[in-house]
Structure 1
Amino acid sequence: MQRRTFIAALPAAALLPAMAQAQTGTRGTPGAQGAQGPGQGGAPQPATAAEAPLPPVWEAGQDRFIRPDVHAGDRPVGASFASRTAAYGLNGAAGTAHPLATQAGIDILKRGGSAVDAAIAINACLGFLEPTSSGIGGDAYAMIWDPKLKKVVGLAGSGKSPRGLSLETVRARAKNGALPALGALSVSVPGAVDAWWTMHQRYGRLPWAELFQPAIGHAEAGAPVPDIIAYYIRRSLAAFRRPGNGLEEVANALRTYGLADGKGPALGQVFRNSDLARTYRAIAAGGRDAFYQGDLARTVDRYFKRIGGWLRYEDLAAHRSEWIEPNRTDYRGTTVHALGANTQGLATLQMLNILERFDLKGAGFQSALSIHLQAEAKRLAYEDRARYYADPHFAKQPVEWLISKDYAAERAKLIRPDRILTPVYPGQAPSRGDTTYFSCADKDGLMVSMIQSNFRGMGSGLVADGLGFMFQDRGQLFSLKDGHPNIYAPGKRPFQTIIPGFATRGGDPWMSFGVMGGDMQPQGQTQIIVNRVDYGLEIQSAGDSPRWHHEGSSQSMGEDSPGLGATGLLRLESGVPLATRQRLAEIGWTIGDPDGGFGRYECVEHRMDGPTRVYAAASEMRADGCALAY
């Protein structure tokens, strides 16, 4: 019989001391709830409680209702903060940010499709179901476990800036020394459709056209909009309607996403997009050429000419995705893979290399020391990110040096356990945002880790006439500083925040995973690896565990983060122990309230039970999605 506790009619002040005291116990920690570290007897205990607990932040009547000191749970086994058990199956698995997209992927797998077929169907569905984070107006990256090659292969589906847009024009039209978030100036070639096609040519099993049928059906029939997606659509449309925002035209976006009142769907309201369904039908019938060289490309060309933009038919026709070799590092026996190219993937590897120099398990799960060390590793890695990461076709990157163990050892020496490092500078090389992530796997062992995005706030705000999708604003991440490796140039790929994750053990696949959310992505990926490797959490609780998020590092545009001071802002999610918050403040961190920007995680794990392959799939509570396996 399970015990139940009922507390009624007590003021919040009366509950706080008891809540603080509860933080001193073992309940709610991985070790107390039965999670085992690799070869260990359980996770370390959290820090003791603070004498003066942090008061709750009440936002009743607003978008959120927050109690920083409380994280609900009470599961009888495992970590109490885990929202559910991972989904297990023998034949295939998928985790996405929308249940209907997950179901579409599973249906494709059951019909004999490969994991790549499922990934394409999922991404097409998400372009309709989750337009706040994805769509064919954006770019895509993937890491794929190839069971025949027994290795991870990478695909970069990143589009270039328009060839007819010069640096001089960009500088003349820039706002406050940077490319604007909205409007045609920040639009680059969408790479997603060609990425799908390139993957399908190598790994697809089902006919190309079949992969679009689930998305077409949903777009025509409509689908009720879940909570988080409704919130972000309405917030984005409000920004698009704001006077003086730089948008060349807004009518198409409001007509496509705004419904009758132009404000966007509310929770549970049915949303349809017949324009996108027609666009998908054209791509299904004509392949990638329909998008990049056919009537769709000509429509895009006419639209940008009409509004005074720069993207042209020739830019689309010249686009091609690239197969690339992922970079990797070893972290305590786990090989973590990351894409380089023009992404921030190297930051995850740099952070892990630095953290390997410290005993995080001994520091304690959710302790101030553990979070302090991770956040300092982030600050060091992100200064290098701002200094060196760019399109390798335009700027030579010192990749081997950046992810070397020797360099990590040098950087680790800068970190002090009892105080925050300030200021933080990039290392000296030797001479010479909105996103969706999804993961799926098939019965033959093919696994896909894929991420796709229109970038910030749904994208540029621009929707070509009758096409039903928004163009990305990824060009906003170009620098305008002379000499910076990421400086804008025509026909150049901008710095990208989107990064899929993959981890192997002993030469075999282990995890296909990702954490959506702009600058949060390397921070989130690092926390997932630390939670699994150092603290022994299984894949669901590793994602549900309370997170930290540091803001304030130098940016890829060559600028500091404005208004956040020398050390930036360390946001701590609800559920981080009160004593941890207090100690981090004592060390010198400026602690910020939770803001919903802690990323959104999906994962598929591969394991062998004797001769039998077993998949586990996880989808966390911070998104509207789900994970399924069969």
Structure 2
Amino acid sequence: MRDLQQPGRSVVHATNGAAATSHPFSTLAAMEILQAGGNAVDAAVAACAVQCVVEPMSTGIGGDCFVLLQKGAQGPVIGLNGSGHAPAKLTAEHLLDQGIGQIGLESPHAVTVPGAVDAWCRLLGDHGTMGIDRVLHRAIRYAEEGFAVTPRISVDWSRNVGRLSGNENSAAQYLKDGGSPVPGDVWRSPELARTLKAIASRGRDGFYAGPVAEDIVAALNALGAVHDAGDFEAQRCDYVEPIASDYAGRQVLEIPPNGQGITALLMLNILKGFDLGAYDPMSVERLHIEAEATRLAFAERDKHVADPRQVDVPVEHLLSDALADELREKISLGRAMANPAKVTGPVYRDTVYLTVVDRDLNAVSFINSLYFSFGSCITAPQSGVLLQNRGAGFVVDPGHPNCVAPRKRPMHTIIPGMVLNGGRCELSFGVMGGGYQPVGHAHLLTNLFDYGMDVQEAIDCPRTFHVAGKLDVERSVPDTVRQGLADLGHDVNTPEMPWGGAQAIFIDHRKGTLAAGSDPRKDGCAMGY
């Protein structure tokens, strides 16, 4: 239990249902749906839709989503891959002929077809109890009538004024007098409200066919993209079988590639060969081991993870004990590795992760993202759809598994997590924050199972991330530990912003209660009833 004389948050305990998101309006929307008789799936989609309005830099209907779902604390966990594909006419040769060797963050070629709305509709139709019209009600209201901007959202918005200014439509719809809102300002998004109403009325056809899709395609084509109506019509989410690895007597589940969840499992496989519990959670030893496992696991990710519909991804090899043993042998407790592999790709801290568990113990682990902050910063003018830049995750190298190709999905960073104990969901969790997410998963789970923290303590615990050749260490890590890491050879750096934002719900089947936590690094909260 936390020291009640110190700042902090208590765990939220409940019996009938709980939700944890990175925005209070989103959590409230989920609770409204649960108390109105909806299930966890209905509540999760409602909560995410609200975040697409009130956290426009982190997520949107122009992005993608992944979901893990266990119904009634029994049976197989359902995985849903709601990531979008590249347009049918986009090839590496097309880009190379134009002198494009890397897809830029604001390039129209970075815009993959959004997968989120299709996934929401599929999830509700197959597993929800309410229609899309009901669950979008609160999001439409915030977009139409306005919402008060919260502090972290204001900071993230202000950091992107320059990028938004580069697109006329984005500047018109996401800036006011050339600037961003400050905390307490009321913000409205009337164009987005109209599009949400179209989706509420027509379902997925309200987005992937007709005026909205036409508006998006026209906006992209005007910038030199090769999207067409067929690309939107063809977008379909896929049910996938989760991949898993054992840790601390439990089964940790992730979405398979093209997601990077396999990186988190590889990290855990490396870490379980160490007695982490013998070290203090804020010790040099623990953070050093975690940093080295990060570098090793990410090197494997960057070599192999891609769209399995088009390339062979060696999942069995990546999850094997043999590989984990081989990589673990490279870690020295006395010195950081020389010439380490660097985490590649754009470094960003956006995305929204949320989790909901209802009274019937339907557990939903749900993540939705535009990739970089405000995605591509390309907005369709009539529909108000801000488009993701997930295609920047492709490489333009015909020999690489993750090379851009027609209707191919890029390597994806967003990963929902779930932990089973005896076949039943014990923990629904996620850690948003771009490339950091696998590290966040491993850090959170080792906090829980190696150090006995509760969900809120595990979320609050200071974080480090070895990225771009440096070891980012949050300011809350003691100076003596920072120096100890530097003495081992790590290039220690203090990040400008914290890493990630986590949400988690622990299901205590013995007591029949839920314990929910939410990250203080964001504006959100956990609630239950």
Scaled by the length of structure 2, the TM-score of the pair is 0.96
CA drift of 1:351 comes to 0.4
* 1:285 has 2:205 as partner: no
Pairwise CA RMSD: 1.6
Deviations 1:141-161, CA, capped at 9 Å, x for gaps: 011112275232110001100
SS at the partner of 2:523? coil
The letter for the 1-side match of 2:386 is M
SS at the partner of 1:151? coil
Is contact 1:145-1:448 (8 Å) kept? yes
Q: How does 1:527-538 map to 2 (within 5 A)?
A: 527-538=443-454
**Aligned counterparts of 2:258 and 2:249: Cα–Cα separation in 1:** 27
* 1:441 has 2:366 as partner: no
**Aligned counterparts of 2:99 and 2:275: Cα–Cα separation in 1:** 46
**Aligned counterparts of 1:174 and 1:148: Cα–Cα separation in 2:** 52
In structure 2, the partner of 1:240 is 164
In structure 2, the partner of 1:607 is 508
Is contact 1:183-1:461 (8 Å) kept? no
Give the alignment partner of residue 209 of structure 1, picking from 133, 146, 153: 133
Is contact 2:105-2:392 (8 Å) kept? yes
Is contact 1:112-1:206 (8 Å) kept? no
Q: How does 1:350-389 map to 2 (within 5 A)?
A: 350-389=266-305
* 1:186 has 2:110 as partner: yes
Q: Against the structure 1 CA distance between its residues 319 and 226, is the aligned structure 2 distance closer, same or farther, given a 3 Å change threshold? A: same
In structure 1, the partner of 2:321 is 405
**Aligned counterparts of 1:183 and 1:487: Cα–Cα separation in 2:** 16
The letter for the 2-side match of 1:276 is L
Is contact 1:300-1:312 (8 Å) kept? no
Give the alignment partner of residue 419 of structure 1, picking from 335, 340, 345: 335
Is contact 2:70-2:362 (8 Å) kept? yes
Q: How does 1:125-164 map to 2 (within 5 A)?
A: 125-147=50-72, 149-164=74-89
CA drift of 1:424 comes to 4.2
Is contact 2:371-2:388 (8 Å) kept? yes
Is contact 2:73-2:425 (8 Å) kept? no
**Aligned counterparts of 1:407 and 1:603: Cα–Cα separation in 2:** 29
The letter for the 1-side match of 2:293 is A
Is contact 1:331-1:352 (8 Å) kept? yes
**Aligned counterparts of 2:129 and 2:45: Cα–Cα separation in 1:** 12
**Aligned counterparts of 1:194 and 1:543: Cα–Cα separation in 2:** 31
Q: Against the structure 1 CA distance between its residues 437 and 173, is the aligned structure 2 distance closer, same or farther, given a 3 Å change threshold? A: farther
**Aligned counterparts of 2:486 and 2:84: Cα–Cα separation in 1:** 42
Q: Against the structure 1 CA distance between its residues 91 and 390, is the aligned structure 2 distance closer, same or farther, given a 3 Å change threshold? A: same
Q: Which runs of 5+ in 1 are unaligned?
A: 1-33, 36-73, 243-249, 427-432, 553-567
**Aligned counterparts of 2:484 and 2:269: Cα–Cα separation in 1:** 25
* 1:624 has 2:523 as partner: yes
Is contact 2:84-2:235 (8 Å) kept? yes
Is contact 1:304-1:312 (8 Å) kept? no
Give the alignment partner of residue 90 of structure 2, picking from 156, 165, 169: 165
Task: Select the structure of larger CA radius of gyration.
Answer: 1
In structure 2, the partner of 1:59 is none
Is contact 2:60-2:386 (8 Å) kept? yes
In structure 2, the partner of 1:560 is none
**Aligned counterparts of 1:125 and 1:454: Cα–Cα separation in 2:** 15
In structure 1, the partner of 2:345 is none
In structure 1, the partner of 2:488 is 587
SS at the partner of 2:420? strand
CA drift of 1:109 comes to 0.5
**Aligned counterparts of 2:59 and 2:123: Cα–Cα separation in 1:** 18
SS at the partner of 1:455? coil
CA drift of 1:229 comes to 1.0
**Aligned counterparts of 1:92 and 1:105: Cα–Cα separation in 2:** 10
**Large movers: runs of 4+ above 6 Å:** none
Is contact 2:68-2:78 (8 Å) kept? yes
Deviations 1:389-439, CA, capped at 9 Å, x for gaps: 00001110111111112221111111110001123469xxxxxx3211111
SS at the partner of 1:504? strand
Is contact 1:238-1:263 (8 Å) kept? no
Is contact 2:26-2:51 (8 Å) kept? yes
Give the alignment partner of residue 474 of structure 2, picking from 538, 563, 573: 573
* 1:482 has 2:398 as partner: yes
Give the alignment partner of residue 174 of structure 2, picking from 253, 257, 265: 257
Give the alignment partner of residue 123 of structure 2, picking from 194, 199, 205: 199
SS at the partner of 1:458? coil
Is contact 2:365-2:428 (8 Å) kept? yes
Sequence identity of aligned pairs in percent? 38
In structure 1, the partner of 2:45 is 120
Q: Bigger CA drift: 542-551 or 416-425?
A: 416-425
CA drift of 1:241 comes to 2.5
The letter for the 2-side match of 1:570 is L
In structure 2, the partner of 1:75 is 4
Is contact 1:187-1:311 (8 Å) kept? no
**Aligned counterparts of 1:214 and 1:605: Cα–Cα separation in 2:** 27
Is contact 2:20-2:527 (8 Å) kept? yes
Give the alignment partner of residue 95 of structure 1, picking from 12, 16, 20: 20
Is contact 2:307-2:408 (8 Å) kept? yes
Deviations 1:245-288, CA, capped at 9 Å, x for gaps: xxxxx1211111112x1212112111001111110110001011
Is contact 2:165-2:178 (8 Å) kept? no
The letter for the 2-side match of 1:102 is T
Is contact 2:90-2:404 (8 Å) kept? no
Q: How does 1:327-342 map to 2 (within 5 A)?
A: 327-342=243-258
